[in-house]
Each structure stands twice: as C-alpha cells, then as structure tokens.
Amino acid sequence: PPTGSPTGNRDQAFWGSCADSNTLNIAANAAILRSDFGQVTPENSMKWDALESSRGNFNFAGADTLVNWAVSNGKLIRGHTLVWHSQLPGWVNNINDRNTLTSVIQNHISVVAGRYAGRLYGTFHVSAFGITINFTLFTAWDVVNEIFNEDGSLRSSVFSRVLGESFVTIAFQAARAADPTSVLYINDYNLDSNNAKVQGMVNLVRRVNANSQIIDALGTQMHLSAGGAGGAQAALTALASLGLEVAITELDIVGASANDYTTVLRACLNTPLCVGITSWGVADVNSWRASSNPLLFDNNYRAKAAYTALINAL
C-alpha cells in the first residue's frame, strides 16, 4: 500500500480528500495529496451533469483524469455520486414517466459505475498457498446523495416525484449489478447529531434492507461550523446502529479550531464501524467554502494547527 495518510492507524485509505483536474494541476496541492491522503473523491467530475449532459452522450474526460491520477499515485477512490438532484442536467429533470426515468437511472449507473468496476488497485500474492488477492481501485460509491429533508422525510426531486421511494432500490440494484465489489453508500448532510434527519436515513435503510442488503453503508458529509462537532459521536453511533459501515465523506469546518477537528477524528475512531474520513479539499484557497478557512492546509498550502492536532491525537 502507499505511504501517507495522517491517520494510517487503520488503513491507508482512512483519510481522503476530494480532488479533480483543477486541483491536481496545482503542484503544491498534488504533493500534499500524495504525502498525506490515501484516497481521493472526485469533487465534481463524476456528477451527472459532468458525465451525461445529454441522454446517452457520455464524457469521461474529467473523471478519467482523476482515475488515472489515482492509479499513477497509488490512491484509492470513493466514487461520488450516481443519483443526486443537484448538478443534474435539465433533460433528466424533465422526465415525467416511470419507465423512462427507471431506464435512464439504470443506464447512467450501469455505464458510469461499470466503466471503473473491477479496475485493480493492486494484487497481493500469498505464494505459500498459491493464491492472489485483488484489491479494487474503487472502495465505495455514493449511490444516492442528499435525498432527505431536515425532518427525515424524502426530499422532493424528479426521482421521488416520479418514482417515490422506489428510486433508491432501483439505483442501488443497478450499482450492485454494475460494480459488485464497491461498498454502496447512501450519503447526506446535516447528519451532525442524532437528529430527525439521521433517524430518517436509518429508518429508510432499515426498510429498504428488510429482506436483503441493498444498501451497504451510510455516509455523513459533515460540512460543519466552528463548535459544531459536539454531536458527531452521537450521529455516528446512531448511523452505525444498523450494523452497517459508516464514513465521514466531505468534512470541512468553517472557522475550525484544532479541537473541532480532533473531536471529529475521535468520534470516528471510537465508532468501530466508521471506516474513514474524507476532507472536502486540501487547502482553504480551493475550498467551495474558501472564505471561511475550513480545511487542514492554508491558502499557501501550509499545514494548519488542526493538522498537527490530528497527528498528535493518534
């Protein structure tokens, strides 16, 4: 496995970051990704509008750039994201019949997840037993993203309006068929304490998985504000209550103190089913919340106090 990851006590993929060609092209940024992070998540390049802006016409240029960078640099990938109401092209938003939308979802997922499925990260030979273990590049896919309202009910979107809750099962089954080895996630934001939205997600996963495991794992984005990490442990404990894997998938903390970051790290480490944390970027200057200093490296790519505190917390 590659070296790196500030928290390599579990495995090298424990701490990841989002990336894409715009940030990979900044040498100082790429150097930090190489030395300090074990996995990458495409920030925008695998969203529906980037990949299939008109029906059946796929453009993988940006996505492949990220994938090829990960292969060359020995990083794993969390796929993000297959079904999301945002960054969704208008032609999908305008579909109003069940059969069309079902086959559009199935085709999109089959083409996108299928493209990278089974792509190898590495192999491990056990010569004494004559066996080879293959590790695949994609550890996970965020299959559905942000499908809940704050009260835990299903958000109104083209998917829920046309298909009701069934779009969730349709999407996960298509993802399983396309990529049988990735861990399939349901992902959302404001799952930062044991609140109604957390309960809504847990209840939906329990319903969908009643007869067989359709959804493998629950992701909490954790776009936090200073002082807002206090509920992280309760959130992770509640999300993990079904016995499925959980992860923090898009961590950033507006105006964070070092203590906010260590609180989040400890919450994950204290949750046996929490497999890792992904920062939503490396340096403040490139963050989608750039003006608020939310990340572990500053505008000049220097490690901040929060970074040092994380290392010391281990």
Enumerate the active-site residues. 250
> Looking at beta carbons only, is 21 or 259 nearer to ligand XIL?
21
- Which residue, 146 or 216, has its beta carbon nearer to ligand XIL? 146
Binders of ligand XIL among residues 127 to 186 (CB under 6 A) are: 145
Q: Is 252 in the site for ligand XIL (CB under 6 A)?
A: no
Say if residues 294 and 284 touch (Cβ distance below 8 Å): yes
Residues 25-84 that bind ligand XIL (CB under 6 A): 43-44
Q: Distance between CA 196 and CA 166 in Å, rounded?
A: 21
| Contacting residues for 137 by C-beta, under 8 A, at least 6 apart | 67, 70, 71, 76, 77, 116, 119, 120, 121
Toward ligand XIL, which CB reaches closer, 82 or 178?
Answer: 82
Q: Which is nearer to ligand XIL, 12 or 145 (CB)?
A: 145
Minimum Å distance from CB 221 to ligand XIL?
A: 6
Binders in 200-239 for ligand XIL, by CB under 6 A: 221
Q: Lay out the site mask for ligand XIL across 98-137 (x = CB under 6 A, - = otherwise).
A: ----------------------------------------
Instruction: List residues near ligand XIL by CB under 6 A.
Output: 43-44, 145, 189, 221, 250, 288
